[in-house]
Amino acid sequence: MNIDGLPLVKPPYGTITAINLDKGEFVWQIAHGETPDVVRNNEALKGLNIPPTGQETYNIGTLVTKTLVIAGEGHVTTTADHPRGAMLRAYDKMTGKEVGAVYMPAPQTGSPMTYLVNGKQYIVVAVSGGPYSGEYIAYTLPSAGE
């Protein structure tokens, strides 16, 4: 349900939650994802400073490593920081604090995965949405001297 693009439900629209399974308690919970364009640019909210609302997501999986939780966004946004696209974000596993983000041309589908080849770590993510029909994108750090 929405009025002029504004969802009736209160944000956050999408979250990632870390749960301590021994105690059954939330360790942290964060809004995951850029505020949708229809909310950020909404006339009715002009002049208000809205913290990131996260996004209602559809089948977005996470990748958990020794220190990080990695998940991409499920919505396309266009912001001052990046062109039309979505971000793949990494959070500190212990605190939920965002520690990095890279640009994807389309939203994530499925879950990211990671692998090591000849000492080099890769992250692969499937993207699709809008003009992009399913594609895989692999990210890695440049080798020394590159």
Q: Which positions touch ligand HEC (CB under 6 A)? A: 128-130, 133-134
Q: Which is nearer to ligand HEC, 100 or 130 (CB)?
A: 130
Q: Which stretch binds other proteins (CB under 8 A): 19-27, 70-78, 96-104, 116-124?
A: 70-78
Asked whether position 36 contacts other proteins by CB under 8 A, the answer is yes
Q: Which does 58 bind (CB under 5 to 8 A by kind): other proteins, ligand HEC, none?
A: other proteins
Largest distance between two CA atoms of the chain: 53
Residue 97, Cβ density class (10 Å: 0-12 exposed, 13-18 middle, ≥19 buried): exposed
131 lines the binding site for other proteins (CB under 8 A): yes
Q: Cβ-count burial of 43 within 10 angstroms (0-12 exposed, 13-18 middle, 19+ buried)?
A: exposed
